[in-house]
Amino acid sequence: MKKFVRDFELIANKRINREYYLLVLKSPERLPEMLPGQFVEIRIDNSKDTFLRRPISLYDVDMDKQLVYLLIQEVGKGTRKLAGLKAGNSLNLIYPLGNSYSLPEEKAKVLLVGGGVGVAPFPLLAKFLKQNNVEPEFLLGFRNKELLVDLADFEKYGKVFLSTDDGSAGEAGTVMDHSVLKASSFPYVKVYTCGPQVMMKAVSKFAEELQLDCEASLENTMACGFGACLCCIQETVRGNLRVCKEGPVFNTKDLIW
Ligand SMILES: Cc1cc2nc3c(=O)[nH]c(=O)nc-3n(C[C@H](O)[C@H](O)[C@H](O)COP(=O)(O)OP(=O)(O)OC[C@H]3O[C@@H](n4cnc5c(N)ncnc54)[C@H](O)[C@@H]3O)c2cc1C
Ligand code: FES
Instruction: Report the pLDDT value the prediction gives residue 177, as an integer from 0 to 100.
Output: 97
Four-way CATH pick for 218-257: 2.10.240.10, 2.60.40.10, 3.40.50.720, 2.40.50.140: 2.10.240.10
Tell whether the torsion through CA atoms of 17, 31, 232 and 190 is positive or negative.
Answer: positive
The structural architecture, per CATH, of the domain 4-97 is: Beta Barrel (2.40)
Residue-averaged pLDDT of the chain: 96
Rounded to a whole number of angstroms, the distance between the first and last alpha carbons of the chain is 28
Among all bound ligands, the one having the nearest atom to the CA of 118 is 1
Q: What is the mean pLDDT of residues 92-99?
A: 97
- The architecture in CATH of the region 109-215 reads 3-Layer(aba) Sandwich (3.40)
| All residues at 6 or more sequence positions from 46 whose CB lies less than 8 Å from its CB, including other chains | none
Give the mutation target among 222, 240, 246, 250 for probing the ligand 2 site: most ligand atoms within 8 A of CB. 222
Three-state SS at 246: coil
Ligand 2 site, residue 139, Cβ cutoff 6 A = no
Amino acid at 133: N
- pLDDT at res. 51: 86
- Asked if residue 181 has pLDDT above 80, the reply is yes
Distance (angstroms) between ligand 2 centre and the Cα of 155 equals 34
- With a 6 A CB cut-off, is 238 part of the ligand 1 pocket? no
In short, whether 230's Cβ falls inside 6 Å of ligand 2 is yes
Cβ contacts of 69 within 8 Å, gap of 6 or more: 22, 23, 24, 25, 58, 59, 60, 61, 62, 123
CA–CA separation, 6 vs 11, rounded Å? Answer: 15
